[in-house]
Structure 1
């Protein structure tokens, strides 16, 4: 079963607890970002990135940019993995 993730090469992680309660505990800007995210992020990862950004006294906008940059890096890593599987010479 692929859980509607398509041909993603990234590892899947299982969370614990009530995911809806944890999601509802996120700040509103983060919940909005997650709703449009390209990847199925774990709440632990999101909370870690958000907390680190806010600990540096970054604004909500810059903290959201940190989430977007992390997503871009992950997508790039997945893209490289997929390309190398398709073309073993790269």
Structure 2
């Protein structure tokens, strides 16, 4: 039966990876809930799947506690750069 499932849906393909697993020290939703409201709103409407930890790092480096607007601008700049880079990958242009 398992072979039938694997043939139809390729069940468990990520579980066979040889890559080292990373353990989370904190629950992801707990990290998300601890983010400032402005950053949470931005994450809820962003285009890419950001991790709360990476968004928090950028927010802190951009001075989000002192100037939330500047931090959100920096997050938007980074996201737009990533989207442009991704578009080049899929279009075949370098």
Fold in common (TM above 0.5): yes
**CA RMSD after TM alignment:** 2.4
Larger radius of gyration: 2
How many residue pairs get matched? 73
Kept in 1, the 8 Å contact 2:31–2:52? The answer is yes
Map 1:1-90 to 2 at 5 A: 16=24, 17-54=26-63, 59-84=67-92
- 2:60, 2:89 → 1: CA distance? 29
Residue segments in structure 2 that go unaligned for 5+ positions in a row: 1-8, 10-21
- Cα offsets for 1:36-85 (capped at 9, x unmatched): 00010012210111010017x8511111010111100110111011111x
Unaligned 5+ runs, structure 1 = 2-13
Does 1 or 2 have the higher relative contact order (CA < 8 Å, sep 6+)?
1
